[in-house]
Structure 1
Amino acid sequence: MTATDTMPAPSPDALSGLEEKPFFIVLNAGSGRRDADETSEVITRLMAEAGRRFELLPVTDPTRLIETARTAVRLAHDQGGIVVAAGGDGTLNAVSSVVLETGLPFGILPRGTFNYVGRAHGIPQDTEAAVRCLLQSHIKPAQVGLLNGRPFLVNASFGLYPRLLEDREAYKQRYGRSRWVALWSAVMTLAHAHRQLKVQVEYGGTHRTLKTPTIVVDNNPLQLRQMGIRQEDELEHDHLVAITSPPVGTLALYGILIRGLLSRLGEADNVITFAFNRLTVHMGNRRHIKVATDGEIFHARAPLVFEVAPHKLQLLVPRADATEAIQ
């Protein structure tokens, strides 16, 4: 059940008068550097200085994240407020999935390792700077992707990529959260043999059979640019971008990794990319497959359907003058 099943749509002025609306902030205490107390103090201090109404809804148990997000949506709807997610990209995904169809304004305070969503929209990674920008923000509708109806803001994938994410999380639990740990984890994962998947894909009237270790569907212009996939403009035209490859060995996978790190992935002969609005992937006799959306891993029923969501997220982004003021 979504938030829209239990409440009416917001009034026509729900997206106006942002400077007066209260914030209902879902704070994932387990995200990023796990400095939730410090983050709470910064938020409380800056909101008090600004004379802004707000309510913090901390989450210490990850299994209660969606429940807490629903509480925030109800409060924001009843009080004409704004839902804010404070956490990594996985947290932003979870909270936005509850907010999306309500049409309520949605703000973010990045607290993760990569923070692709915030960085793509010019939101500072520093908590104090991010809160100051939030207080002086405006709405920019943001495209959302869907995998079998489940939203994603950064990317969705199946095959090798979810395995990379699983191993990365295990390494982070053991060695700490950093980009270097993530890189070393990828090197170790790619050192092992990987299963090739034979799939049939349909998009834009095209039917293709692919044998591939993975397909990643991207919805983040910053991530595409960083990898060297020069198709970020497609995201402005109600498209997502698929990234895949033919069967390759370990050395070729290392080559793909290195090209991605050097922002030259789009130049690789063994990398295939294409844009689409809706992509259906048939898995042969497989009924379920492990997938990932914004770093969160689960099993999905085949066929897999990747598509652009019919609604856009009413995302709060910094005003130009606010960004300049804090720099």
Structure 2
Amino acid sequence: MTLPTADAPFFVVLNPGSGRDDAHETKALIERVLTEAGRAHEVLMCAGTPVPQVAMKAVERACAEGGIVVAAGGDGTINAVVQAVLGRGCALGVLPQGTFNYFGRVHGIPLDTEAATRALLDATVEPVQVGQVNDRVFIVNASVGLYPQLLEDREAYKQRYGRHRLVALWSAVVTLFRAHRPLRMVMRCGGEERNVRTLTLFVGNNPLQLRQIGLPEAPLIGGGRLAAVMLRPVGTLPLLRLLLQGALGRLGEADDVLSFPFEELSARPALPRRRAMVKVAVDGEIIQLRAPLRFAAAPEPLPLLVPRHPQPVA
């Protein structure tokens, strides 16, 4: 890609559904900082319009004017913008607005919107690995089985009780008390094919998230490698213990957890139906993809604006 110029305009995709602050206040803050810096910009709000549609508009404008696309939202919003940006030759900036903000945090981007906006002004462009499942990118993780159900329930609880980590934890506890049918899958990795039974298949691309839950594969992410995590079929109480171990950063010590790094992995239902569709969680968004599912790092890295003085990763 061609590196953006020092005065390249910003095209900000702002999702009003992300974050706790009023979207109009956030928009005004971003515009004030960029105006004071004398930087050309446009903030495109997603109110009433799907994020992917707004993201495509921003990418078209950025490609035509030598600009930079900026995603202002949580990891799901950033994912939609990355999907539009990747392979188009323009760089991406990020203003984290979500609950966990794994993508922004792992790259040292401030969580404070004003600080993150100022950091865009002298940021450097670095190539960043993103994952891919079939034709969909993911920046943090993609999964099938129990984990998508956890996410669906978490979103329902957030709609009722607000976006808070304690709400997310409580919704997970409630979900785990339900009965769960194990997945029966045929998995191919490293030239070997085997049948597996698992409650969930989780594929991670974010070392911060993996490190926080205590998986040894965290430092191996990158260079074309992702990490797979599978849970053996267990009952409710063992599942609750696994949840606690993850919260304490000790999931890698659990006997019922299998994790390993890989470069390419495919998975399909062991009893395939014609044109079988699989529910997949991609960076917190639930989608349907046709089996087999093929996980790998995207062939092209993402050109990401990284702060010249990154925040410590925490």
Normalised by the length of structure 2, the TM-score is 0.95
Q: What is the deviation of 1:208? A: 2.2
Partner of 2:119: 133
Q: Within 5 A, what are the aligned runs for 1:1-327?
A: 14-17=2-5, 19-61=6-48, 63-284=49-270, 285-286=272-273, 287-320=276-309
In the alignment, structure 1 segments of 5+ residues that lack a partner are 1-11
Q: What is the deviation of 1:38? A: 1.2
Q: What is the deviation of 1:16? A: 4.3
Q: Report if aligned partners of 2:109, 2:306 keep a CA contact under 8 Å in 1.
A: yes
Distance 1:267 1:103 in 2: 42
Q: Report if aligned partners of 1:161, 1:216 keep a CA contact under 8 Å in 2.
A: yes
Distance 2:125 2:101 in 1: 19
SS at match of 2:197: strand
After superposition, the C-alpha distances for 1:55-83 in whole angstroms (9 at most, x for unaligned) are: 1111112x521111111111111110000
After superposition, the C-alpha distances for 1:157-193 in whole angstroms (9 at most, x for unaligned) are: 0000000000000000111110000000000000111
In the alignment, structure 2 segments of 5+ residues that lack a partner are none
Q: How many residues align?
A: 309
The letter for the 2-side match of 1:33 is R
After superposition, the C-alpha distances for 1:282-315 in whole angstroms (9 at most, x for unaligned) are: 2122411211100000121111111111011001
Distance 2:284 2:144 in 1: 11
The letter for the 1-side match of 2:157 is Y
Q: Which protein is richer in helix relative to its size? A: 1
Q: Report if aligned partners of 2:4, 2:91 keep a CA contact under 8 Å in 1.
A: no
Poorly superposed stretches of 4+, deviation over 4 Å: none
Q: What is the deviation of 1:51? A: 0.7
Q: What is the deviation of 1:323? A: 5.4
The letter for the 1-side match of 2:229 is I
After superposition, the C-alpha distances for 1:37-56 in whole angstroms (9 at most, x for unaligned) are: 11111111111111111011
Give % identity: 54
Normalised by the length of structure 1, the TM-score is 0.92
Q: What is the deviation of 1:274? A: 1.0
Partner of 1:8: none
Q: Report if aligned partners of 1:210, 1:246 keep a CA contact under 8 Å in 2.
A: no
Distance 1:90 1:248 in 2: 30
Distance 2:143 2:101 in 1: 18
Distance 2:228 2:242 in 1: 15
SS at match of 2:222: helix
Q: Kindly report the root-mean-square deviation, in angstroms, between the aligned alpha carbons of the 2 structures.
A: 1.3
Distance 1:169 1:36 in 2: 19
Distance 2:87 2:187 in 1: 28
Q: What is the deviation of 1:233? A: 2.4
